[in-house]
Structure 1
Amino acid sequence: MVDNNDLLHTEKILADRKVFFLDLKENARGRVVKITEDVGGNRDTIMVPAEILGDFIAALVDIKETADR
Protein backbone atom coordinates (compact mmCIF):
# COMPACT_ATOMS: atom_id res chain seq x y z
CA MET A 1 0.00 0.00 0.00
CA VAL A 2 1.22 3.48 -0.87
CA ASP A 3 1.55 5.94 2.00
CA ASN A 4 -0.07 9.36 1.46
CA ASN A 5 2.27 11.80 -0.27
CA ASP A 6 4.97 9.24 -1.04
CA LEU A 7 7.84 11.03 -2.76
CA LEU A 8 8.82 9.23 -5.98
CA HIS A 9 11.27 11.74 -7.48
CA THR A 10 12.50 15.25 -6.76
CA GLU A 11 14.41 17.96 -8.63
CA LYS A 12 15.81 21.27 -7.36
CA ILE A 13 16.39 24.38 -9.51
CA LEU A 14 18.33 27.39 -8.27
CA ALA A 15 17.52 30.78 -9.83
CA ASP A 16 19.09 33.86 -8.23
CA ARG A 17 17.45 34.18 -4.82
CA LYS A 18 14.73 31.63 -5.59
CA VAL A 19 14.75 27.86 -5.23
CA PHE A 20 12.23 25.69 -7.06
CA PHE A 21 11.44 22.16 -5.92
CA LEU A 22 9.65 19.78 -8.28
CA ASP A 23 8.43 16.66 -6.47
CA LEU A 24 6.64 13.71 -8.05
CA LYS A 25 4.39 12.28 -5.37
CA GLU A 26 1.77 9.58 -5.18
CA ASN A 27 -1.25 9.50 -2.91
CA ALA A 28 -4.55 7.62 -2.79
CA ARG A 29 -5.93 9.75 -5.65
CA GLY A 30 -2.97 9.26 -7.99
CA ARG A 31 0.28 10.93 -8.92
CA VAL A 32 0.92 14.67 -8.78
CA VAL A 33 3.82 17.01 -9.37
CA LYS A 34 4.17 19.44 -6.49
CA ILE A 35 5.96 22.62 -7.58
CA THR A 36 7.24 24.76 -4.73
CA GLU A 37 8.90 28.17 -4.99
CA ASP A 38 10.98 29.22 -1.98
CA VAL A 39 12.04 32.87 -1.72
CA GLY A 40 13.77 33.68 1.52
CA GLY A 41 11.77 31.10 3.46
CA ASN A 42 8.41 32.11 1.97
CA ARG A 43 6.92 29.23 0.01
CA ASP A 44 4.19 28.98 -2.61
CA THR A 45 3.07 25.64 -4.00
CA ILE A 46 0.95 24.34 -6.84
CA MET A 47 -0.06 20.75 -7.57
CA VAL A 48 -0.24 19.46 -11.16
CA PRO A 49 -1.98 16.11 -11.72
CA ALA A 50 0.46 13.75 -13.48
CA GLU A 51 -2.14 12.89 -16.14
CA ILE A 52 -2.02 16.47 -17.50
CA LEU A 53 1.74 16.87 -17.16
CA GLY A 54 2.21 16.56 -20.94
CA ASP A 55 -0.19 19.47 -21.55
CA PHE A 56 1.49 21.49 -18.78
CA ILE A 57 4.95 20.95 -20.28
CA ALA A 58 3.70 21.73 -23.81
CA ALA A 59 2.28 25.03 -22.56
CA LEU A 60 5.60 25.87 -20.89
CA VAL A 61 7.46 25.08 -24.13
CA ASP A 62 5.11 27.43 -26.03
CA ILE A 63 5.74 30.16 -23.46
CA LYS A 64 9.52 29.60 -23.66
CA GLU A 65 9.46 29.86 -27.46
CA THR A 66 7.59 33.17 -27.20
CA ALA A 67 9.99 34.46 -24.52
CA ASP A 68 13.02 33.51 -26.63
CA ARG A 69 11.89 35.64 -29.60
Structure 2
Amino acid sequence: MDSILESKELQIERKTFAIDLRENGRGRFLRITEESQGHRNVIIVPISGVDDFADAIDDVLAAEPAEQG
Protein backbone atom coordinates (compact mmCIF):
# COMPACT_ATOMS: atom_id res chain seq x y z
CA MET A 1 0.00 0.00 0.00
CA ASP A 2 1.22 3.50 -0.86
CA SER A 3 1.80 6.15 1.78
CA ILE A 4 1.20 9.76 0.75
CA LEU A 5 4.08 11.92 2.01
CA GLU A 6 2.99 15.21 0.42
CA SER A 7 0.11 16.22 -1.83
CA LYS A 8 -1.05 19.24 -3.83
CA GLU A 9 -4.16 19.71 -5.96
CA LEU A 10 -4.60 22.23 -8.78
CA GLN A 11 -7.72 23.26 -10.68
CA ILE A 12 -6.78 24.49 -14.16
CA GLU A 13 -9.61 25.27 -16.55
CA ARG A 14 -11.79 22.12 -16.53
CA LYS A 15 -9.06 19.83 -15.28
CA THR A 16 -8.00 18.81 -11.81
CA PHE A 17 -4.38 17.80 -11.23
CA ALA A 18 -3.24 15.95 -8.13
CA ILE A 19 0.50 15.81 -7.50
CA ASP A 20 1.44 13.32 -4.82
CA LEU A 21 4.79 12.33 -3.39
CA ARG A 22 4.26 8.72 -2.37
CA GLU A 23 6.22 5.85 -0.94
CA ASN A 24 5.75 2.09 -1.07
CA GLY A 25 7.92 -0.99 -0.55
CA ARG A 26 9.84 -0.25 -3.75
CA GLY A 27 10.67 3.37 -2.88
CA ARG A 28 9.47 6.93 -3.38
CA PHE A 29 7.79 8.27 -6.49
CA LEU A 30 5.83 11.20 -7.84
CA ARG A 31 2.30 10.41 -8.99
CA ILE A 32 0.60 13.00 -11.20
CA THR A 33 -3.12 12.47 -11.82
CA GLU A 34 -5.19 14.44 -14.33
CA GLU A 35 -8.98 14.25 -14.07
CA SER A 36 -11.24 15.79 -16.68
CA GLN A 37 -14.85 15.06 -17.60
CA GLY A 38 -14.86 11.66 -15.94
CA HIS A 39 -11.54 10.54 -17.41
CA ARG A 40 -8.41 9.95 -15.36
CA ASN A 41 -4.80 9.79 -16.55
CA VAL A 42 -1.89 8.97 -14.27
CA ILE A 43 1.86 9.13 -14.71
CA ILE A 44 4.38 7.80 -12.23
CA VAL A 45 7.92 9.20 -12.02
CA PRO A 46 10.42 7.36 -9.81
CA ILE A 47 12.12 9.71 -7.34
CA SER A 48 15.42 9.09 -9.13
CA GLY A 49 13.97 10.76 -12.25
CA VAL A 50 12.07 13.69 -10.74
CA ASP A 51 14.88 16.24 -11.26
CA ASP A 52 15.33 15.18 -14.91
CA PHE A 53 11.55 15.32 -15.39
CA ALA A 54 11.37 18.87 -13.97
CA ASP A 55 14.40 19.94 -16.06
CA ALA A 56 12.72 18.61 -19.22
CA ILE A 57 9.57 20.61 -18.45
CA ASP A 58 11.68 23.75 -17.89
CA ASP A 59 13.51 23.15 -21.20
CA VAL A 60 10.27 22.74 -23.14
CA LEU A 61 8.76 25.88 -21.61
CA ALA A 62 11.93 27.89 -22.26
CA ALA A 63 11.84 26.86 -25.94
CA GLU A 64 8.18 27.87 -26.34
CA PRO A 65 7.79 30.81 -28.73
CA ALA A 66 6.44 33.98 -27.13
CA GLU A 67 2.67 34.36 -27.39
CA GLN A 68 1.56 36.96 -29.89
CA GLY A 69 -1.03 39.38 -28.67
Structure-2-length-normalised TM-score: 0.88
Percent sequence identity is: 35
Identify unmatched segments of 5+ residues in structure 1: none
Letter of the aligned partner of 1:34 in structure 2? Answer: R
Deviations 1:4-39 (A, max 9, x none): 210000111111000111011000000011100000
5+ residue gaps in structure 2?
A: none
Selected match of 2:8 from 11, 19, 22: 11
Q: Which residue among 61, 64, 67 is the counterpart of 1:67?
A: 64
Establish whether residue 49 from structure 1 lines up as the match of residue 46 from structure 2.
yes
Larger of the two Rg values belongs to structure: 2
User: Which amino acid in 1 is paired with 2:41?
Assistant: D
Aligned-pair RMSD on alpha carbons?
1.1
- Runs of 4+ aligned structure 1 residues displaced above 3 Å come to none
